[in-house]
Amino acid sequence: MRAFRVTGPHTATLEDVPTPEPLAGEVRLRVGAAGACHSDLHILDDPNALGMPMPFTLGHEIAGWVDATGPGVTGFSVGDAVAVYGIIGCGTCASCLAGRDNECRRVPPSGVGLGRDGGMAEFVSVPARQLVPIGSLDVTQAAPLTDAGLTPYHAITITSRNLVPGSTCVVIGVGGLGHMAIQILRATTATRIVALDTRHEALALARDLGAEHAFLSDADAAGRIRDLVGPAPGGAEVVLDFVGSTPTLEIARSVVMAGGDVGIVGLAGGTLPVSFGMLPMEARVSIPFWGTKAELAEVLALGQSGRITAHVETFRLADAAGAYDRLRRGDLRGRAVIIP
């Protein structure tokens, strides 16, 4: 079969590899769709720094159909449509036992497409416990929802104490995750949504998806938001930063209210000073990571109901390298999805 594999720093190629045979407790999937995530760029740039053994197949956002089951697998039949919960924890720490593999206390972040062979291939074998049925949801929708939908859903869940009617939530970055965050906020809360981005087309998309306000992310952005939410110590109840650069974190710090929440989701490598006077009193800063399998089931239910829709651009497996080039340039509108 063909697979798009990381073979070294800055090197990924389409290769012919053996079709995997599912081991005990595993299921082999015929891959229907695999999302290209911005975090994959960090893997491509330096897999050694992340401790990921090479070579391996990229793709941690996966949906497809059961093709074969390994020994001991029950509950799944050939042809079942499923999505993959990509993160794999140790399975024995307190967090994993509570279903929070994304908070595993014993192993660094790893899983399907994160060191273990992922879904940018014609077939992939995964532990059966990682599968979530998707019903009639199209695989090109289900695949990006496993991360681009799940991660903002988790970020919204852990800041939900402040997402009450009459509140304001600032979404910084209307990309693959940010455009899902706006929809999830609209579907699950009554908060006022303010979107920021550097691209006019992204701001237009934000308005189309339900943001009441959409501003350019520039030197005047914090002032525009302050005009809406009033002076400190008031402000926005929640700020979700899907960029994570120092300038965007400065905006977040400048507009969050006392007792508010700042969720740092983006991986741009910025810093946010945390000390008295640098943030409002009682403000809480979190670094949401992916989400739980139970939350993934909820995200897929939102997708099945039609209340959220991933905006995707599809690519053939042979064009996977080009999809990542587009992702790196920032000229995708939504999520790149590879169709093996």
- In this prediction, residue 208 has a pLDDT band, given cuts at 50, 70 and 90, of very high
Same domain, 108 and 195: no
Q: Is residue 183 part of a domain?
A: yes
Alpha helices by DSSP H, 107-266: 139-144, 150-158, 178-188, 200-209, 221-229, 246-255
Same domain, 201 and 87: no
Q: Is residue 84 part of a domain?
A: yes
- d(CA 111, CA 141) in angstroms, rounded, equals 21
Roughly how many angstroms between the first and final C-alpha of the chain, as a whole number? Answer: 10
Across 205-224, average pLDDT: 97
Consecutive H or E run containing 6 = strand 2-8
Same domain, 28 and 124: yes
What does the pLDDT read at residue 333?
Answer: 75
- d(CA 33, CA 311) in angstroms, rounded, equals 14
What does the pLDDT read at residue 8?
Answer: 85
Query: For the chain, what percent of residues have pLDDT higher than 70?
Result: 99
Angle among Cα 150, 151, 156 to the nearest 5 degrees reads 95
Identify the CATH number of the domain in which residue 33 sits: 3.90.180.10
Q: Is residue 323 part of a domain?
A: yes
Q: Is residue 87 part of a domain?
A: yes
Q: Is residue 33 part of a domain?
A: yes
CA of 22: how far to CAs of 86, 205, 246, 326, in Å? 17, 41, 44, 33
Same domain, 282 and 324: no
Across 2-26, average pLDDT: 94
Same domain, 73 and 190: no
Condensed to tens digits (0 to 9), the pLDDT of residues 69-114 reads: 999 999 999 999 999 999 999 999 999 999 999 999 998 888 999 9
Instruction: Give yes or no for residue 51 having a pLDDT over 80.
Output: no
Residue where one domain finishes, among candidates 270, 286, 302: 286
Dig out the tokens for 137 from the structure: 């949801």
Consecutive H or E run containing 126 = strand 123-127
Instruction: Give yes or no for residue 334 having a pLDDT over 80.
Output: no
Q: Poorest-confidence range of 53-57, 82-86, 102-106, 321-325? A: 53-57
195: amino acid identity, one letter: A
Q: Is residue 275 part of a domain?
A: yes
- d(CA 222, CA 235) in angstroms, rounded, equals 10
Question: How many structural domains compose the chain?
Answer: 2
Q: Is residue 295 part of a domain?
A: no
Same domain, 120 and 229: no
DSSP one-letter code for 106: S
Same domain, 63 and 162: no
Mean of per-residue pLDDT scores for the chain: 95
Give me the phi and psi of 46, to 5 degrees please.
Answer: -160, 75
Dig out the tokens for 253 from the structure: 């710090």
What does the pLDDT read at residue 50?
Answer: 67
Instruction: Give yes or no for residue 49 having a pLDDT over 90.
Output: no
**In terms of residue numbers, what domain contains 84?**
2-133+310-339
Same domain, 102 and 169: no
CA of 259: how far to CAs of 12, 24, 274, in Å? 45, 49, 14
What does the pLDDT read at residue 109?
Answer: 83
Same domain, 186 and 258: yes
Q: What is the DSSP string of 76-92?
A: --TT-EEEE--B---SS
Q: Is residue 123 part of a domain?
A: yes
Condensed to tens digits (0 to 9), the pLDDT of residues 243-286 reads: 999 999 999 999 999 999 999 999 999 999 988 989 999 999 99
DSSP one-letter code for 276: B
What does the pLDDT read at residue 162?
Answer: 98
Instruction: Give yes or no for residue 47 having a pLDDT over 90.
Output: no
Same domain, 324 and 282: no
Same domain, 281 and 317: no
Residues 232, 253 contacting (CB under 8 angstroms): no
Q: What is the DSSP string of 165-201?
A: TT-EEEEE--STTHHHHHHHHHHH---EEEEEES-HH
Same domain, 23 and 92: yes
User: How large is the angle between the packed helices 178-188 and 150-158, nearest 10 degrees?
Assistant: 50
Identify the CATH number of the domain in which residue 245 sits: 3.40.50.720
Condensed to tens digits (0 to 9), the pLDDT of residues 135-189 reads: 999 999 999 999 999 999 999 999 999 999 999 999 999 999 999 999 999 999 9
